[in-house]
Structure 1
C-alpha cells in the first residue's frame, strides 16, 4: 500500500475517534449529571491526536529507516561481485531501478519474481527497457538477485509498516475514546499537544538550517584538502577540468555576481523607491488599491520566465541598439547574453521587493512629523525630501540590502541572460557568469564527488552563504533598529 493511502487511513481513524470521543463525553456528562471539565470538541481532539500523532510519526520514521535497512540487507548480494573501485551508491541505484521495474512488471502480470529469476540477464534488461527503466550498467546475476531481494524485503517492510501504523492508530483512537470522561482535563492535553507540535516545527526549521550549513562545511573542508585555499580565494582564472589541471579561482565569479547585482540595484532602487513614495504619499486610495497589487505581481513571476524574457527579448533589443550595425553603431555588444541583459531583467524582478518594503517603511513614519513640517510652511515634496525620507532612511537601506541578497542568489536569469564566461572585465556588454550559475554547472552531469572540480560547488555555496547571511544580518539589524525607534 502506498504511504499516502496509509496516511489517509490514519486520518480517517482519527476523524472517527474525534466523533466517537465527542459523543462519549456528551453521553457520560448526561448519565453522571456532571459538567464537563472542557468543551466537547477538546475530547474529540484528544482522541484524534492520540490516533494520528504517534501513527504519523511512526510512518515518517519508517519511511526514513526502511531504505537504509533494505540497502544493508541487499548489499551483501552485490558485494561479492563488486569490482575494484566500484561506487556502491551507483550499483544500488541500478538495483533500485531494476526492483521498481520488476514491481511494475509483476503488478501488470507480465513477469513474476520466479520468472525474472529464471530469465538470462540480457533478456531481463530488454524487459526492463520495455518497461521504460533505464539502467546505468549491464544486468548481472548478482544485480538481478539483489533486485529480487530488494523487492522481497521492501514488500515485507511495506506490509509490516501498514500493520504497525494502522494498529497504532487504532490503539491510540481507542485510548483517546476511553478517556472521554467528564473528569479528564482534555483541554490541557490538547494544549500540550499543540505546544509540542509548534516546538517540533520550530526544531525542524532550525535543524534543517543546521544540516544545510554542516553539509556545506564538511564538503568545503574536503575541497580545501584537495585544492589550495589561497588559489581559490585569490585566483583570477576559472577553468575547471575533470581530467586534471583545473584552475578554480573565485574572483571572476564574484566579480560577475557583484557586477550584475549592482546593475540590478541601479535599476530597481530608484524605480522601486519612487513607486513607493508615490503610493505612500501621493496616490489616492482607489489607485493604491489596484496599483500596489499589480506591482507586487512582479514578485510572483517565476524566475525562469524572467530568464526567457532576458534571452528572447531584452538581449536582442540591446544587440540592436549597441551591437555592430545597430541603431547607435557602437559595436560594444557581440551577443544577447551579457551583464547588462541579466542586470536589467534582474532589476525589474527586484522592483516589487524594494517598492513593497519601502512603502511599508514610509507608511510607518509617524503622521505627526508630516503635520509638523506642513504646519511650518513646507510643501509636500519638501516634507517628503527633508522629513519623511530621512526618517525612513534606515528602513529603506535595509530593504535595499535585502534586495541585494536576493540578487546575489539569483540563478536562472543569470544562466539564460548573462552567459557562462568567467572573466574580469569592466565592459557591461560582455558575457559573464556568477557563483550560482557555476554551482549549477559543476553539479550537472555524472560528476565524481571525490574530485575538487565537483566539491568546488560546495565551496562556492559556502562563500555565497556567508555573503548573503552577512547582508541579511545587516539589513535586519537596520530595520529592527528603525522599528524600535518609531513603534
Structure 2
C-alpha cells in the first residue's frame, strides 16, 4: 500500500512540475516578463505538491503500527489489559502475525480472533484514510502553488528558500542522530559500569561474560576484562593493514602514473567490485580456502597453526579493504597539480623519484585519510572474524592462534535469552562505546595529520 501510494505521489509531483512549467511558458509566450525561469516555477509547484504529502506519508507509516496497536489493546477484555508489559507485548505480536498471515489464526481463543479481526479492520481503514488524506494534501498543494504562478512571482527565491530549509533539516537530523547514538551508548555503558568497575573492564585479562539468567539459577559471576578482545581486534586489524596498505597504495600509483587511460577505465571499476562483495562471502572464502591453506603451510613448516587463526582472517580482511586504500589514494594522487610533476621532471628527476619525492608527499593527506578509513573498516568487521578467526577470547599476539574481536562479541552478547538489563548484555554497550572512542580518536589523529601536511603543500 505505502509503495503504491508513494509512486502515485511521485507521478503527481512530476506531473505538477510539467504543468507549472508549461503555465509559466504560456505566460512568457503571451508577452509577460517573468521574474524567474519557467523551470523554477515548475519546481516550485512540484515541491509544494510533493514535499508536504511525502512528509505526511512518512509520518503516517511511522505512527500507523503504534496507533493500531493502541486501539486493539483498548478493545481487549480488561483481564488482558492488566497483563504485564512483556506478556502484553507477546500477545500483540501474536495478533499482528495472525493479522498479516504469518502464522495460522488461533480459533481456540475467541479474544485473539476478535483482536485479529479488529486489527484487520483498522488496517483497512488506515489504508483508505491514508490515500484520501495524502492525495488531498498533494492536490491542495498543487492548486495553491499553481495559483501563485505570475510574472512578478519570485519562483527562484521561493525554491531556494524551500531547499535551504530541507538542507537545514537534513543536516540537523544527521547531527541529532549522531548525538542520539552517542547518548544511548553512554547511558547503557554507565549502567554497566555501575556493576563492573571501569578498571576491571579496561585492564582485566579475562573475558567470560557468563552470568546467571535467573536469581535461583547457579551461574558464573562473569569476568569482563576487555583486554583479550582489544588485543585480538588490533592483531587482526594490523594484519589486514599490512596486506591492504602496500597493495592498495602500489595499485593506486600504478593506475595513476603508469597504466594507460583506456585500461585504467576498466581495471579500476573491477578493483572496486571487491568493496561491493558481501562480507559473509569473504567469510566463506576465509573459512573454506584461506584458513586451511594457512594451516597446511604452517604444518609443513613445523608450526602449530589453529584451524581458525588471526592470520587467515587478517589476510582476507586486508583483501576486502584494498579498494578503500587504492581508490581513494588513486583519486588524491590524480588531484596533485600537474605543475609539480613538470617541475620535478624539469629539474632532471626520474619518474620514480618524482613519485617518491613529490607526488606521494603531496598526496599524503589523502593517503592518510584512506588508510584511517580502511583501519576503521577493519575495526568494525564481524563476519570474517566469526568464520575465520573463531570466538575464543584468547589473550595472545600470535597470529597463528585463534582470537576474536570486539564487534564479534557485541553481536554475540545481544542475542539469546539473557535479560537486557544484565551485566552480560550491558557489556555490549560498553564495548560499543570503547570502539566508538577508538574510532573517534583515529579520525582526530587523521585530521591533524591532514591539516599539518595540507598547510605545507598548498
TM-score (norm 2): 0.88
Q: What is the rounded CA distance, in whole Å, between the counterparts of 1:40 and 1:26 in structure 2?
A: 6
* Aligned partners of 1:37 and 1:185 also within 8 Å: yes
Match of 2:400 among 418, 429, 435: 429
Aligned position for 2:216: none
Match of 1:467 among 430, 434, 438: 438
Matched positions, count = 449
Once the two structures are TM-superposed, the CA of residue 407 in structure 1 deviates from its matched residue by: 0.8
Alpha-carbon distance change, 340 to 177 in structure 1, aligned in 2, over 3 angstroms = same
Aligned position for 1:479: 450
Match of 1:36 among 24, 34, 37: 34
Aligned position for 1:343: 314
Once the two structures are TM-superposed, the CA of residue 386 in structure 1 deviates from its matched residue by: 4.0
Which runs of structure 2 are paired with 1:356-395 in the superposition (5 Å)?
A: 356-395=327-366
Q: What is the rounded CA distance, in whole Å, between the counterparts of 2:10 and 2:347 in structure 1?
A: 66
Once the two structures are TM-superposed, the CA of residue 297 in structure 1 deviates from its matched residue by: 2.8
Match of 1:451 among 422, 440, 446: 422
Which runs of structure 2 are paired with 1:51-90 in the superposition (5 Å)?
A: 51-76=49-74, 77=76, 80-81=79-80, 83=83, 86-90=86-90
Is 1:211 the equivalent of 2:187? no
Q: Unpaired segments of 5 or more residues in structure 2? A: 213-218
Aligned position for 1:127: none
Aligned position for 1:135: none
Q: Deviations over 1:397-444 (max 9, x none)?
A: 333222211111111111111111111013211111101111111122
* Aligned partners of 1:99 and 1:150 also within 8 Å: yes
Q: What is the rounded CA distance, in whole Å, between the counterparts of 1:95 and 1:480 in structure 2?
A: 58
Q: What is the rounded CA distance, in whole Å, between the counterparts of 1:247 and 1:88 in structure 2?
A: 35
* Aligned partners of 1:398 and 1:474 also within 8 Å: no
* Aligned partners of 1:366 and 1:486 also within 8 Å: no
Once the two structures are TM-superposed, the CA of residue 364 in structure 1 deviates from its matched residue by: 4.1
Alpha-carbon distance change, 95 to 370 in structure 1, aligned in 2, over 3 angstroms = same
Match of 2:269 among 280, 293, 307: 293
Aligned position for 1:318: 294
Aligned position for 2:96: 96
Greater shift after overlay, 249-258 or 158-167?
Answer: 158-167
Alpha-carbon distance change, 228 to 99 in structure 1, aligned in 2, over 3 angstroms = farther
Alpha-carbon distance change, 285 to 45 in structure 1, aligned in 2, over 3 angstroms = closer
Alpha-carbon distance change, 235 to 322 in structure 1, aligned in 2, over 3 angstroms = same
Which runs of structure 2 are paired with 1:235-314 in the superposition (5 Å)?
A: 235-243=204-212, 244=219, 245-314=221-290
* Aligned partners of 1:402 and 1:471 also within 8 Å: no
Alpha-carbon distance change, 394 to 26 in structure 1, aligned in 2, over 3 angstroms = closer
* Aligned partners of 2:362 and 2:457 also within 8 Å: no
RMSD between superposed Cα atoms in Å: 2.8
* Aligned partners of 1:47 and 1:173 also within 8 Å: yes
Once the two structures are TM-superposed, the CA of residue 467 in structure 1 deviates from its matched residue by: 1.0
Q: Deviations over 1:439-469 (max 9, x none)?
A: 1111223443222222222221111111112
Match of 2:305 among 318, 333, 337: 333
* Aligned partners of 2:233 and 2:379 also within 8 Å: yes
Q: Deviations over 1:22-62 (max 9, x none)?
A: 4444445566x422332223333322222211111111112
Q: What is the rounded CA distance, in whole Å, between the counterparts of 2:336 and 2:197 in structure 1?
A: 51
Q: What is the rounded CA distance, in whole Å, between the counterparts of 1:397 and 1:30 in structure 2?
A: 57
Q: Deviations over 1:167-199 (max 9, x none)?
A: 111111111222223232222222222222222
Once the two structures are TM-superposed, the CA of residue 212 in structure 1 deviates from its matched residue by: 2.0
Alpha-carbon distance change, 78 to 230 in structure 1, aligned in 2, over 3 angstroms = farther
Aligned position for 2:379: 408
SS of residue matched to 1:80: helix
TM-score (norm 1): 0.83
* Aligned partners of 1:402 and 1:475 also within 8 Å: no
Q: Deviations over 1:254-288 (max 9, x none)?
A: 11100001111111222222223333344444444
